[in-house]
Structures are given as structure tokens and as C-alpha cells.
Chains A and B, each alone.
Chain A
């Protein structure tokens, strides 16, 4: 294993120094406090400023901790918190669409189902919460991939084909992801199991970062038109719910 990276250790020391007192510090103070050359300290401060961990006062040129750093510890979204915040919207989505609703978040190269509302027809259904879905073959996973909330690490033997419609060619998948970003929602049509389809839209947390996705799924003939395109009425309901959950996450966290 490689040893510690010196510049990161120094950056951490600078952050600790700035966090240590209420006062803004000048470049000279930072450098001499840590026994660094001014040039070295300046390079590190500029980099920290670039990622918003440090701010420089325009008038005095002195440095202080940046806002991004303050939010770092609290931007983590607990999955149970996500469920609790979305429960009313997910219920309303299931009631209006007549289909099952799931929420997913990325977990170690897969999608973790964090919430599930039954299709409101009182048939026997089992809660899927805690189940894992493949990123490339589920609507939730494709949306998480499209918005950079999850990354795909294909195994050497290639992506698993669940049906003949599963996107296993990385280029096909990339094209599909670009399209999702373009239209703001994604679908899987018989890509995980024949006869089923799902549509998903991103859920954004503070700052617009995609933290999860919400999907509607059911038999393909109920989700799509005869040509296999998702019904616009359903995508409209879905996107409205996703926006409402996102607003709730952003509006109340800060």
C-alpha cells in the first residue's frame, strides 16, 4: 500500500487551522503556522477554493472555510429518511396511476429498493424493500446511471442479458442514458423480464444532486402503447411525483 499523500495531509492541516478559530487567516499566517513555503500553501488554498472548501474574502484576501465543507457531513441522505419524505407522494402516484411504485438508491453497483407501494388492486403482493436490482436492466438503475448517481463496473464476461431486450452493449447503453438525460426520465421495456415494463424519474437532493429514483412498473401493455412506448399520461404523473419529492428534500433540509 502506498504511503500517505503529503499534499492531502497538508490540505487537511490547513482546513483544521481555518476551522480552529473564528478569525479569517491571511496566506502568510497559514504558511507560517504550518511551516510551509508560501507558494506551497497558496497552491493548496487555491485548489481548496476551487472545490468550494475554502473561501477568500474579496476585500482582505484572507481565507475561511467554505460553505461546501459545512454541508459535507449533512448531505448524506439516509434511505429511511428518503422513504419517510416520499411516502405521501409515492402513495398518491400509485393511487393515480393504478400501478406499483418503487424508490431506489444506488448501493455497491446495484439498485437498493428503499420503498415500495403495492399496485392498488388488493391482489397478493410482497414488499420488495431491501431487494437489489441490476443497474443496466431496471428503469431505476438506468436513471441512476444516466445522472451519475451510480457507476457501472461491467464484469469481464459482459453485462448480464435478462431478456433479448436487455441492453448489454455498452454503446447501446450509453445512447440510452444520453436519451434519459435529454428527456428527464427513463424506461425499461421487457429488459428485465418479458411482459413487464417500468418508467423512472430522478429524485434530486440538495444542490440538484441525484440521490435516488422513483419508478412505476407493471405489465408492458399497461405501461406502454402498442408500439412499446411508455404512455405519456403515466410519465407525466411520474415526473410530477419525482419533482414533488425533490422539492421536499431540498426545501426542508436547508
Chain B
């Protein structure tokens, strides 16, 4: 019998990857291509959606060639994508309206500030589970309407389509201008600020509020179901999954039961906890989001704690301070000392994300004495990630009533053993790393494979998860408590730094 594989396409912030997985969830081939980051103005971040589609057209055949397989051996295609990034395009020509506005882009800050004043956070939290933030898509659509002449009218006339990146790719894969499907899934839709979290339909009040015509938006399908066959690239192969990248990682880590959580450690870090079919409203500064919806089954929700600056603090330490040559060297430097020497770094570079959501905060280094060496600073850099995780976990436990029993980790920073041990120590739970590090791609593949029966059920997927490494807590409880209090005091000192008037020009 010919081997069959599931293909995942992970469209990320800096690159797009195509990976083939086999029945046991093992990675069989990878092809990857980076795309250009455009920074036209301070705070603006854009991608060229056409370049991204072109990259997909290149990496798909590359991944197939390197594994030596043909389209007939692909059981299904699943897509994971950078979330919240906004693409508008003309369905008659397939041409995007300008460049895609990326999730990191902060051009909508003035609009968002106004929304937080009036109608206020509650109006939005009630409906979509998110407080207004530059992070989400709807304010970007509003911004485009106000800044691209004629766009709003074209949208009203049905001449423009909106999508996050998975919608754009699926539209292109399923025929584009010749009948391409305009669809999304609830994980992506739940990051727009336009989705009603209870009904999982576009919320008429929110659409009205942002002035977004219904026809602009994609149809919301399940995260795992047969959307249709590809007509470009792999004609006849079914596309059967779409998930936002962080939800895909939760799925790839097989966190299928309430209380199971994963954290992906990258430039920023994202901790998601499965809360089951209960929609848990956070009272402790977390986001309520959709974890996944498998066709024909109840929707599963998650609480999410995004931390803006974790790996990027190490990059700053390397590139801006020049303390180390490569990111992994931070571990070497941090191990030159026994402890932080009383020094703490709160990396509130653009304010604090979860659970504080304080845009008036800025970074601080506290506890400096003449005793402090760069080794202590390196330790404080790593500890900043550990303590930010602790704050998010505490909020999760409080909101969900489920005490975290272990933390599954993935992402680039998991190669840092000192950080992994710190996490186990400050969380007081085991930290485990899975054998497949590419959890985002794996999650999209799992969802796609489930939808076509390549894998029979969630239990089979659980059986594919294997522990590659584990760190156990080994910290004196009194010291843990004392250090946590010191961290919290350091956080207090980062608050209320930015002044509303911006200062003299």
C-alpha cells in the first residue's frame, strides 16, 4: 500500500512552511520560505499577500518533492496561520487592496483608545470576549475604510472581500477568481472583534458598530471539516482544516481536555488553556477565545494569555546591548551566576499584555547595585519570561477554577534548559516538551486528518504525543514566594510611566 500523508501549511508572521506528517504524527518533509516585512511608518507592519500566496505555490511542490510523494498520496490539507492579520481583496481580479496589515501593527491606536472610552471595554467583552486593542482585525477594517478612498462604498457594493490569511489562501487554493471559497473558521473569526462568542456568528451589533457590511466577511465553517477540493496546486485534494496558529499549537499538543494548557515560547509567548465547552469570561485579564470546532461536535473554548515580550527580550539583550552573540548563549551567561543577585527586568517595551493590559507601562531594570554583573542581567532576562508565565497561569487558575497540573511547552526557547527549569520552579508544576517541536503545523495536520478519517479520533492523536524532555519543580517554597513578590513589586514600578501628553516635542 502506498503511504499517505497529511499536509499542513503554516502561514506565520515571518515565513510560510509546508510540512508533511505521517500516521504517527512524525515530520516527513519541510519546505519553508520567508516573506518580506514592510515597515512603511513607525508602528506600521505590512505583508504582501500576493508574495505569501506565491511562497505557498513554491513550498508545496518542494515539500512533496523532498518526500518523493505525489498529490494522490496527500490525504488532506490543513492550514494554520498568523492570526488577526487583515487582507482585503477584489474577488474579480484577485488583487489585494494594498498590503495586508499585520497583527503587530499599531496604526489603529487612536481609534482603539476612543473605543475604550466609549462605548467602553464591557460592550466588546460581552459580545466578542476581547477588549479593544490594536491587536485585532475590526479596527483595521475601519481604518482602511477611512483611509482608502472609495473602499467603503466598494465594500457595500460587494466588490471587496475581507479575510485573515487562511481565508485568502483557501480562496486562492479553491479557484480564486473562478469560484474560490470565501470561508474562515471560528478560531480565526474569534480574533476579529466581530464574532459573537456565544452564537459563533458575525454579531450584527458589532458589524453595525464598525460599519462592516456582512458581505465583506467570509462564511464561518468548522475548524475541521471538508471545505472543498483544491483547484490550484494540488487539484482534487481536500482542504479540511483551518486554525489560528496558537490554537493549532494547542491542538498539536493534544490539549483536548479542560484544564490542559500549552505555552508556545517565541518572540512573544502565548499560553492557552482548554476550558472545554464552557465559555469562560475572564475576570483576571485573559482573553476568551475559541480553541477549535470539529464539524458536528460542540465548540471547545480556551482562555489565552498573550505575553508580548519574551524571546524578543533575549534578542534585545543580544542585538541592542550586545551582551551575547547568539540567543542560546544567554543560558551560558546566566549560568555564570547562582541567582539574579536581586535584579529584575520587566520588559514592558510597549506596555504590558496579559494579565495587566497596561499601555502606560514601560520596561524597568530594578535592584541594580555595584554587585550586579551581566550574568545577573542574563538571569533576570530569562526569569522575566518565567514570571510573566506565572502571572498568566495564576490568572488562568483563578478564571477557570482548574488548577494547572503540568505545562506543555513548545517554540524556540524550549531549547533553553535553564529557562525550562525556572518555569517548573516558579509554576511548581512539571514542564514537559513534546517530541515534535512543530506543534503549530502538527495541530493543523491533526485537525485536517481527523476530518477525513486519516486519524479516527482524538485518542489516537493523544497516543502520538510523546515526551521528549521533562523538568520538575525544585525550588524552596519560601524562596519561590519571596521571589514572586519581588517580581510583582518590580511590575508595580513599571506602571504609570508613559504620560498622556507625550512630553515636549
Does B435 contact A127, Cβ atoms closer than 8 Å?
Answer: no
Contacts of B416 in A (CB 8 A): 80, 84
- The answer to the question of A9 belonging to the interface, with a C-beta cut-off of 8 Å to chain B, is no
For B435, what are the chain A residues with a Cβ–Cβ distance below 8 Å? Answer: 91, 94-95, 117-118, 120
In the complex, per-residue mask of A50-75: 1 if CB is within 8 Å of any chain B CB, else 0: 00000000000000000000000010
Which of B332, B437, B467, B471 sits near A87, CB closer than 8 Å? B437
* Chain B residue at smallest Cβ distance from A73: B325
Given the complex of chains A and B, what is the CA–CA distance between A127 and B467 in angstroms?
A: 11
CB closest chain-A residue, reference B463: A122
B window 448-492: CB within 8 A of A: 466-471
Binary B-proximity of A67-106 (CB < 8 A = 1, otherwise 0): 0000000100011110110011001101110000000000
B43 on interface, CB distance cutoff 8 Å: no
- CB neighbours (8 Å) of B332 from chain A are 78-80
Among A80, A88, A95, A117, max chain B CB count under 10 A is at A80
Q: Hey, which chain A residues are within 8 Å of B38, CB to CB?
A: none
What are the residues of chain A within 8 A of B414 when measuring CB–CB? 87
Q: Is the CB of B437 within 8 A of A91?
A: yes
Q: Does B328 contact A (CB under 8 A)?
A: yes
Asked if B283 CB lies within 8 Å of chain A CBs, one says no
CB distance A95 to B436 under 8 Å? yes
Inter-chain contacts of A79 with B (CB < 8 A): 332
Interface centre among B24, B412, B414, B467 (most CB of A within 10 A): B467
B374 in contact (CB, < 8 A):
no
Asked whether any CB of chain A lies closer than 8 Å to the CB of B331, the reply is yes
- The residue of chain B having its C-beta at the shortest distance from the C-beta of A85 within the complex is B328
Which of B325, B415, B467, B468 has the largest count of A CB atoms less than 10 A from its CB? B468
- Min Cβ gap B484→A in Å is 25
Chain B residues, Cβ within 8 Å of A94: 435, 468
Contact (Cβ within 8 A) A83 B328: yes
Instruction: Determine if B92 is an interface residue (Cβ-Cβ < 8 Å).
Output: no
Cα separation A88 to B442 with both chains bound (whole Å)? 14
Among B26, B330, B471, the residue within 8 A (CB) of A95 is B26
User: Are A78 and B466 CB-contacts (below 8 A) given A91-B435, A94-B435?
Assistant: no
**Minimum CB–CB distance for A231 against chain B, Å:** 19
CB nearest neighbor in B for A100: B468
Residues of A within 8 A of B327 (CB): 84
CA distance A1 to B435 in the complex (A): 53
Q: A79-B332, A120-B435, A122-B467 are in contact. Are A84 and B415 (CB under 8 A)?
A: yes
Across the interface, do B415 and A116 meet the contact criterion of CB distance under 8 Å?
no
- State the CA gap A88–B417 with chains docked (Å): 15
Indicate if the CB atoms of B469 and A80 lie closer than 8 Å.
no
- Is B350 at the interface (CB under 8 A from chain A)? no
B387-417: CB near A (< 8 Å → 1, else 0) gives 0000000000000000000000000101111
Q: Which among B26, B330, B471 is the interface contact of A96 at CB below 8 angstroms?
A: B26
Contacting A122 at CB < 8 Å: which of B27, B436, B466, B469?
B466
**Range of interface residues on B (Cβ < 8 Å):** 20 to 34
* Closest B residue by C-beta to A117: B468
Q: How far apart sit A91 and B470, CA to CA, in the bound complex (Å)?
A: 14
- Encoded as 1 (CB less than 8 Å from any A CB) or 0, chain B from 304 to 335 comes to 00000000000000000000011111111000
- Please, what's the 1-or-0 string for A104-136, where 1 marks a CB less than 8 Å from any CB in chain B? 000000000000111011100111010000000
Q: How far is the CA of A74 from the CA of B326 in the complex (A)?
A: 11
Least CB distance from A209 to B in Å reads: 18
Please tell me which one of the listed residues A87, A88, A121 contacts residue B466 in the complex, with CB atoms under 8 A apart: A121
Knowing A81-B328, A84-B327, A129-B417, say if A91 contacts B436 (CB, 8 Å).
yes
CB of A248 to closest CB in B, whole Å: 13
Query: What residues on B are CB-neighbors of A95 within 8 Å?
Result: 24, 26-27, 435-436, 466
For the complex, what is the distance from the CA of A80 to the CA of B26, rounded to whole Å?
25
- A81 to B329, alpha carbons, bound, how many Å? 6
B468 near A80: Cβ-Cβ < 8 Å: no
B469 touches A83 (CB 8 A): no
Q: Do the beta carbons of B326 and A81 come within 8 Å of each other?
A: yes
- Please, which residues of chain B bring their CB within 8 A of the CB of A96? 26
- Report the Cα distance A116→B433, complex, angstroms: 12
Chain A positions 37 through 51: 1 when the CB is less than 8 Å from some CB of chain B, otherwise 0: 000000000000000
User: Which residues of chain B are within 8 angstroms of A92 by Cβ–Cβ distance?
Assistant: 26-27
Task: Check A78–B329 contact: CB distance below 8 A.
Answer: yes
Given A80-B329, A80-B331, A91-B436, A118-B417 contact (CB < 8 Å): no
Q: Out of B26, B330, B437, B469, which one reaches A127, CB within 8 Å?
A: B469
Partner of B470, one of A78, A81, A121, A127: A127
Would A88 and B437 count as touching, CB distance under 8 A?
Answer: yes
> For residue A81, which residue of chain B has the nearest CB?
B328
CA distance A95 to B407 in the complex (A): 21
Shortest C-beta distance, A214 to chain B (Å), equals 15
Closest residue of chain A to B434 (Cβ to Cβ) is A91
Decide: A87 and B415 in contact? CB cutoff 8 A.
Answer: yes
**B24: chain A residues within 8 A (beta carbon):** 95
CB interface residues, B 332-382, toward A, < 8 Å: 332
- Bound Cα distance from A94 to B466, whole angstroms: 10
Inter-chain CA distance A61–B470, complex, in Å, is 60
Q: How far apart are B264's CB and chain A's nearest CB, in angstroms?
A: 15
**Nearest CB of B to A125, in Å:** 8
Q: List 20 A-B contacts (CB under 8 A).
A: A80-B417, A83-B328, A83-B415, A83-B417, A84-B326, A84-B328, A84-B412, A87-B414, A87-B415, A92-B26, A92-B27, A94-B468, A117-B435, A117-B469, A118-B467, A118-B470, A120-B435, A121-B466, A122-B466, A125-B467
- A80-B415, A81-B329 known; 4 other A-B pairs, CB under 8 Å? A81-B326, A91-B435, A91-B437, A96-B26
The 9 A-B pairs of least Cβ separation, nearest first, read A120-B466, A80-B328, A84-B328, A84-B415, A80-B331, A81-B328, A87-B415, A117-B468, A78-B329
